[in-house]
Structure 1
């Protein structure tokens, strides 16, 4: 039976997750085995290890999971398309007499590894049978228990939610330092916990998921917590069919909010402060966004962007030599024109008014993508995102049980991630988004499989 529109997630072709053209024998060969399990454990270890750069290898290692015929040729075509778009945007930039930052362009595929390869993962990840799916849940359940135990210990020692980062920033609490590891920790723990709640059949997996959510609350990556809760409530209302779901989300959300306010009573005041700093006042982020709109007034920038890494993406920030504490050789340090003229002055202003909040930082993926790739590419990405979201909502409305729960979780995580992209360069958080990206692709496979089993 041909899959319905709602069953075709992420992309229009029905064989995104399951290649229906394969013969039964090749279908079996394309399932997860010992090899795929070992590579997944390696990826999980790379992103969880307390390192400042080792996790950048995780997206490339994740490619070892793929063994479907045609993956190499498809990757080559995808890379050629990206290279062509970059060449066009760079050409227009040079034609305007603007200097090009080659180090920023070189850093771009490193910082965007996960998102550049996401279409490849979605199309070619091997299918998971029931045994492999249950294995995955058990591994993630054990991983969550470990991370939450370390997180509780870090909170007890440091008495500071910003130091709760599990193994991601294991040594931060002993050094008395606060790093971005906390954000990476919660960015991974939230989606993993929700998938376990949706799909786990054993009580200990539910307890593992709840422990992960508790550790994420302790970490208080404020905007993530608020966006996740808001997305969950909005989707529960939008699906408009299950009253029990709406009531359940409201009840769980109330318990969630009570727990959060118990450990962090200033959350509401901090949220209002974010609003004032970002929307009402002339915040660095607001100033950069307005400067970006002015830049899009140039036709070449509007249609083709200013080039990868040439505005406010993390790649461009790294190439400036003033973003990381790590020192790079001189040939890898060259600020882009936009960084010198727009970003750097606003980073100085941020030190005066930002109050160490990421909300006011003068960069975000929602600003960088349309400026560096052009409005047509950004609109295309937004179209795919919207289609994926509404198709998941359609699955949620017409399905029951685990399939509906997974569709709800995937939609919630996607919406929360979209909102987070207005705060920071989340698209480039390789350590924080690698496991969620793979997990959402596998959850999409699971949704399709459950739909076929009940058809």
Structure 2
């Protein structure tokens, strides 16, 4: 991202952030394209427009490939569902087409951090107030934790439908808080902002996201060591203790919630669980009936992804004229029954995310095969190790802010993998878009700073030259 891209990118981030925090639900999937349009217009970049057209061409070729393959196999391929998938995965489309090299000093981390401060403060206070209102008034049609949604679900208490807002709220706030903490440590102030943000996400009580965060924290602590040797037992024990302490406030606000952690392991083994049934169908029965699934999947939007669910016309409770409102043959034969069983079993499953028969890792396999799974995990591993090198680089040079930033980014990257084993989170634009846009620009900044030569070395060279 060269100098002329820095300001347009910041403006696009603000556009994406502002729209993503609104209660717009299905229309949130167009936000990445709005932000991209703003960036192209403001930067007057023919290069980005060219990359966008190339990406669109690549998508068209990919869809054509799936269409021809399954036409030959005698299985219908629903193009409308694939178009919906372009929108549900649009966060990554935007990240792909905008170049990421370089960053202007005028729009560096110090420019983004004050924005995060106000967002965390405002969203955190609103979330806390939502919890207090439900608790004090004794409202029973919505659980107090589910009401904590910030501006994303500002109307949740009024309409009595919590929906998915508290999970989106928690994930987006974790991105904001973790990427804001290095600034707090540098400035040695604004601790109250972090505390308010943490309190709000704890009140939301989305345990599976917290557990994913703890796992990611421990994973990063272990693998971001300089030599990858686990000889420093004190740091490992300290990391485990810190991770456990993060869960204690949840037990205070929601007594007995820690006991439910056992469910995380049971749902993948309980044969009566919708999640187990969905996994058995996707990983065992689906490849038996459609042999190419293991390699390339059924294609985007054809199975259990959010695109597939939305395209069915039943995800939002009623059919919408601008949606395909149809399902693929594999969806109908192997997934629809499990989904409906979960949907109508609210007394048993309580609309719990842990029991939902769909999650991103499963959907990636069913729709893109092992190639899709490999690309996703390969990208995560590549960037994780690159950021680890940056962490070691800045730590050796005692650059605390960039060291903390690299560590926080590593944690968030791994958390993204863990939460993908619970729900179709890779397709939640409101939860990921602002945080991932911020992640991209900060990663670019760390790379740029790592390539810059120290000022002392430059001065010494100038003296020698003179």
TM-score range, shorter chain: 0.7 to 0.9
> Separation in 1 of the partners of 2:263 and 2:296?
36
Q: Is the 8 A contact 1:46 1:54 kept in 2?
A: no
Query: Aligned residue pairs: how many?
Result: 427
Q: Is the 8 A contact 2:10 2:107 kept in 1?
A: no
The 1:403–1:244 alpha-carbon spacing in structure 2 relative to 1, beyond 3 Å, is: farther
Deviations, residues 249-292 of structure 1 (Å, cap 9, x unaligned): 44543442221211122222222134323323332222222222
Number of the residue aligned with 2:265: 275
The 1:320–1:402 alpha-carbon spacing in structure 2 relative to 1, beyond 3 Å, is: same
Q: CA deviation at 1:175?
A: 3.0
Give the 3-state SS of the residue equivalent to 1:271 in structure 2: helix
> Separation in 2 of the partners of 1:330 and 1:438?
28
2:2 matched to 1:31?
A: no
Write the mapping of 1:356-367 to structure 2, written as runs, cut at 5 A: 356-367=351-362
Q: Is the 8 A contact 2:311 2:323 kept in 1?
A: no
> Separation in 1 of the partners of 2:3 and 2:80?
44
Q: Which runs of no fewer than 5 residues in structure 1 stay unpaired?
A: 1-17, 19-26
Give the alignment partner of residue 18 of structure 2, picking from 26, 45, 64: 45
2:369 matched to 1:374?
A: yes
Write the mapping of 1:60-75 to structure 2, written as runs, cut at 5 A: 60-63=33-36, 64-65=38-39, 67=43, 68-75=45-52
Write the mapping of 1:113-124 to structure 2, written as runs, cut at 5 A: 113-121=90-98, 123-124=99-100
* Range with greater deviation from structure 2 (180-189 or 75-84): 75-84
TM-score of the aligned structures, taking structure 2 as reference length: 0.85
> Separation in 2 of the partners of 1:51 and 1:414?
26
Q: CA deviation at 1:126?
A: 6.9
Give the alignment partner of residue 166 of structure 2, picking from 179, 182, 188: 182
Number of the residue aligned with 2:202: 217
> Separation in 1 of the partners of 2:450 and 2:192?
27
TM-score of the aligned structures, taking structure 1 as reference length: 0.87
Give the alignment partner of residue 65 of structure 2, picking from 77, 82, 88: 88
> Separation in 2 of the partners of 1:331 and 1:181?
22
The 1:248–1:196 alpha-carbon spacing in structure 2 relative to 1, beyond 3 Å, is: farther
Q: Is the 8 A contact 2:353 2:423 kept in 1?
A: yes
Q: CA deviation at 1:312?
A: 0.7
> Separation in 1 of the partners of 2:322 and 2:13?
36
Number of the residue aligned with 2:316: 324
> Separation in 2 of the partners of 1:125 and 1:396?
19
Deviations, residues 216-259 of structure 1 (Å, cap 9, x unaligned): 11111111111101211221122235888656644543442221
CA RMSD of aligned residues (A): 2.4
Write the mapping of 1:277-316 to structure 2, written as runs, cut at 5 A: 277-293=267-283, 294-297=285-288, 298-316=290-308
The 1:39–1:390 alpha-carbon spacing in structure 2 relative to 1, beyond 3 Å, is: closer
> Separation in 2 of the partners of 1:165 and 1:191?
15
Q: CA deviation at 1:327?
A: 3.0
Give the alignment partner of residue 379 of structure 2, picking from 380, 384, 409: 384
Q: Is the 8 A contact 1:86 1:307 kept in 2?
A: yes
> Separation in 2 of the partners of 1:316 and 1:184?
20
Q: Is the 8 A contact 2:268 2:276 kept in 1?
A: yes
The 1:249–1:443 alpha-carbon spacing in structure 2 relative to 1, beyond 3 Å, is: farther
Q: CA deviation at 1:419?
A: 1.0
Number of the residue aligned with 1:432: 431
> Separation in 1 of the partners of 2:11 and 2:390?
32
> Separation in 2 of the partners of 1:183 and 1:454?
42
Q: CA deviation at 1:203?
A: 4.2
Q: Which runs of no fewer than 5 residues in structure 2 stay unpaired?
A: 136-143, 227-231, 455-466
Number of the residue aligned with 2:138: none
The 1:378–1:82 alpha-carbon spacing in structure 2 relative to 1, beyond 3 Å, is: farther
> Separation in 2 of the partners of 1:333 and 1:252?
47
* Range with greater deviation from structure 2 (247-256 or 327-336): 247-256
Q: CA deviation at 1:189?
A: 0.2
> Separation in 2 of the partners of 1:312 and 1:182?
22
